[in-house]
Amino acid sequence: MNLITNRAEMNQLSKQLKQNSKSIGFVPTMGFLHEGHLSLVAKAKQENDVVVMSIFVNPLQFGPNEDFETYPRDIERDEKLAKNAGVDYLFVPTVKEMYPTEMGSKLTAIKRTNVLCGKSREGHFDGVVTVLSKLFHIICPDKAYFGMKDAQQVAVVDGLINDYFFPIELVPVETIREIDGLAKSSRNVYLDASERKEAPQLFQSLTLAKNKILQGERSIENLTLFIKRYIEENTSGEIDYVEMYSYPSLEPIERIKGKIIIALAVKYSKARLIDNIVMDVK
Ligand code: PAF
């Protein structure tokens, strides 16, 4: 595996790969890799000649009161994991490399952002689309891989790729879970022992709601109430939101019908967990 920190070098390599007709699968990450990221690499390896992973904790997508400084980082461990997973090129730029000068123009994610996490994380998706546009230009991937755990991010990136005609195929990859159902996340390390024990109840609430839909429930009000009650009765977390929308357009819906997402966010003492299910309902 080659480690690259310089954007011009990365871009040069990508162009060479293209000239040699090699397809590039890109896995953008903020590091502190877990099985979720590695499943993206595994899929990218199946579908491309070369896999490029980026590790960059992007300051632009963190709000002033968010955890940019304390976001977990362990580059040595990440390097080993990426190498063992079969990453060919690991791109690890510094903040100065990605943002060498103060930005004179801005990308703003307008649609699909005023719901779910976007509502309480002002500017977050502007930061995501900005850094991804830069990374897409540097790496020139054929396909880019994103985990469905952050389904809103997948929806926003879908919009970005369509709006700016990036010649990239977006590949959403199913959420990887712990054996007890908890969605894998770099932030799970912030949970204390009792929070970790009860955290799988979040996915359980979604699974039970899904079963209710399969049995015929179509009322958003009833399902929202059910999920909220379940979380309140089975966890000590504070509910940030439980919401349902069409997917990937993230438009409000009146009843459960078509492709929909049920998503939730719950705050614990040092971590805010998100999870969702997407289903196609007749
Ligand atoms: O999902 C993430 O880790 C980040 O939002 C991403 C896509 C790497 C952009 O910084």
| pLDDT at position 36 over 90 | yes
Q: What percent of the chain is modeled with pLDDT above 90? A: 95
What does the pLDDT average to over 52-80? 94
Active site residue 34: no
The CB of 30 under 6 Å from ligand 1? The reply is: yes
CA-proximal residue: ligand 1, atom 8 (nearest): 29
The pTM of the whole model exceeds 0.75:
yes
Mean pLDDT of 65-92: 95
Task: Tell me the domains of the chain and their CATH numbers.
Answer: 2-173 (3.40.50.620), 186-281 (3.30.1300.10)
Q: Which of 274, 266, 272 is nearest to 237 (CA)?
A: 266
The span from the CA of 147 to the CA of 153, in Å, is 9
| Separation of CA 230 and ligand 1 centre (Å) | 30
Question: Ligand 1 centroid to 72 CA: how many Å?
Answer: 14
Quick one: tokens of 142?
């054929």
Longest dimension (CA), the chain: 58
What is the model's pLDDT at position 67? 84
CA distances from 20 to 45, 50, 169 (A): 18, 11, 20
- pLDDT, residue 120, reads 86
137's tokens: 């230009």
Instruction: Mention every residue, 6+ apart, whose C-beta is less than 8 A from residue 254.
Output: 220
| 36 CA → ligand 1 middle, Å | 13
For range 2-6, the mean pLDDT: 98
Helices (DSSP H) in 164-270: which residue ranges? 193-198, 200-214, 220-234
Mean pLDDT in residue range 245-260: 96
**Is the shortest distance between the CB of 109 and ligand 1 below 6 Å?**
no
Separation CA 152–CA 157 (nearest Å)? 9
